Amino acid sequence: MEPLRQLALVFQPAMEAEPLIEQLRHLFIVEEQGRQDDSETFYDTFDWRLYRKQLLCVGAGRSRSLLSFDGTQHGMIDDLGPGRKFWWEMTPSEVRETLREIIDVRALLPMAALETDKRHCRLLNDDEKTVVRLTIRADVPVGDGAPDQLAKVVTIDELRGYQEAFDTVHRLCVAYGLTPLDSDSWLAQRAFSGSPRTPLDYGDKFRVELARDSDIGTAIVQICGYLLREIEFNRQGVYDDVDTEFLHDFRIAIRRTRSLLSLLKKQLPIREGSYFRREFKWLGGVTGKLRDIDVYLLQKEAYLAMLPSRLRPGLDGFFADLEQHRRHELKLLRRHLSSKRYRSLLSDWRTFLVADDSPLFGESSRKSCRELADRTIRKRFRAFLRNGEAITDDGPDSDMHNLRIQGKKLRYLLEFFRSLYDEKSLEQFVKQLKKMQDNLGDFNDLCVQEEMLGARLDGLGGNGRRVLLQAAALGGLLTVQAKKRGALRDQFAATYAAFSSSQNRELLVSLIGSDQRPEERAGRQ
């Protein structure tokens, strides 16, 4: 069926709504359904997953509505309990399914609010049948530095089978001096106009734009500054345990920082370099355990699905222990995040990156970043291939892990310096690398999990029924995992062959050039 029309028009700044309603009364019975004076809170995930899909989640009390940027409603949930923020805490519905797809494991958080005064009107014909619905809203954004009041907006909703009445009202509004909103994202613009957060101010993709002729010091400041901001952005969410992804992103930013510190070891002053490497290693370390537990808990459904239903109850105790363990680890992590050591590290790091007399702005950092990037990427790629060639079907698993770490370093490098290179070719190469890393990463995850599950199994004592059940469940998981791991190992050779193909090597050469000395090149001609 034809979708129903909805139109939004904006009043001139000083215009009142009353005379317009009077005019409508000549043609319709106008029934005011009461005024609604409340605030609308706009929810999104910390990384704007809904906004990226051009969706708004508007809440008042226990209800959450999913809207387009222009206010068109897609659906609603009206029984969300207090403090509920995950899709799995909602009652099953179409909206929940949509949210599930988009927000996944992230929490819906209040991002902005509007104080709205809404007048809902129904326009009736002579049979006292509704033929058009109309809402006049006046919005005041909530927040510092927000504009006082935004121009009033009227939205007109078509009812099926009453096109003519809709057209009539539309014409009347235009004649009265209302103008169509020039943007189909007016509600989104209004919603965030007073918010301390700017839409898309935090994203999942690492993206730093370096100048093509950037020097090393500037590049480091830019990249590390970006990562520092990510660390600071996520800290509170980790501390408050809002959702698992805060910690995940927090750790990635730390890992990237560490990677840069070690890749550019020679470019950094020795004393500072080793201090920051040590301290960020510490921070990576103290956040690790909690993340490991999160990974298992997030896997819960997948684990249960691997087991036949009669073995599933065996995991109850396993997960209950994990939950308990998690509470303990969270407490420890909170202590670290409030410690003097943490605060000093971040403030030292900030000072190092921005202070005028920072060694980063000294002579040695003036060299071309591009040259350094070329060289380092080349070196890393070679190291990767060297390690990759050495892997044999029956070699130890640790070879695979080392290769994965090599690959990760290469991947980070390419991401750090992406803006220095031809975007399309680089994307293409990164895509190939990602396929390779997925194979290695999945393999590594399975190894780590197997080790953990195995340790758990070894640690079981006694012979009560619950212990037996848990042992059976763990045994089941280990069997499935080992099979998967074997399959990944089998795929390795082909994946590696594709990645190390001459085509891919040439692709990289086209990006970073080859390192043959000029005289060698001349000699060959």
Residues making contact with another protein (CB under 8 A): 1-2, 93, 122, 127-130, 159-162
Residue whose CB is less far from another protein, 1 or 455: 1
Provide, rounded to whole angstroms, the least separation between the CB of residue 248 and another protein: 36
The burial class, CB within 10 Å (0-12 / 13-18 / 19+), for 380 is: buried
With respect to another protein, which residue has the nearer C-beta, 98 or 368? 98
For residue 519, what is the DSSP state? H
**Can you name the residues that pair with 73 across neighbouring β-strands?**
67
Q: Which of these, 264, 223, 218, 261, lies nearest to 366 by C-alpha position?
A: 218
Nearer to another protein, 39 or 73 (CB): 73
Closest separation in Å from C-beta 129 to another protein: 4
Cβ atoms within 10 Å, residue 333: 20
Closer CB to another protein, residue 106 or residue 122? 122
CB closer to another protein out of 73 and 479: 73
In this structure, what token pair is assigned to residue 325? 């363990």
Q: Which is nearer to another protein, 95 or 345 (CB)?
A: 95
Q: How far apart are CA 150 and CA 136, in angstroms?
A: 12
- Whole-number minimum distance, CB 328 to another protein, in Å? 43
Tokens for 29, please give them.
């019975």
Closest approach of Cβ 126 to another protein, in Å?
Answer: 10
Nearer to another protein, 7 or 114 (CB): 7
Is the Cβ of residue 130 or residue 299 nearer to another protein in the bound state? 130
Residue 1 Cβ vs another protein, minimum distance, rounded to whole Å: 5
Smallest separation (angstroms) from another protein to the CB of 98: 15
In order, the DSSP letters of 314-361 are: GHHHHHHHHHHHHHHHHHHHHHHHTSHHHHHHHHHHHHHHH-TT-GGG
Q: How far is the CB of 191 from another protein (least distance, A)?
A: 24
Q: Are 243 and 105 in contact (CB under 8 A)?
A: yes
Taking residue 141's Cβ as centre, other Cβ atoms within 10 Å add up to: 21
Q: Which residues of 248-271 are buried (b: 16+ CB within 10 A; e: fewer)?
A: bbbbbbbbbbbbbbebbeebbeee
- Between 66 and 413, name the residue whose CB sits nearer to another protein: 66
Beta bridge partners of 6: 157
- In the complex, minimum distance from the CB of residue 84 to another protein, in angstroms, rounded to a whole number: 19
Helix (H) or strand (E) holding 163: helix 163-176
CB 156 within 8 A of CB 173: yes
Indicate the burial class of 200 (C-beta count within 10 angstroms; 0-12, 13-18, 19 or more): exposed
The encoded tokens of residue 366 equal 């003036």
Q: Three-state DSSP class for 172?
A: helix
Shortest distance (Å) from residue 123 CB to another protein? 11
The residue among 93 and 387 lying less far from another protein, judged by its C-beta, is: 93
Burial level of 503, CB count in 10 A (0-12/13-18/19+)?
Answer: exposed
Shortest CB 127 distance to another protein, Å: 4
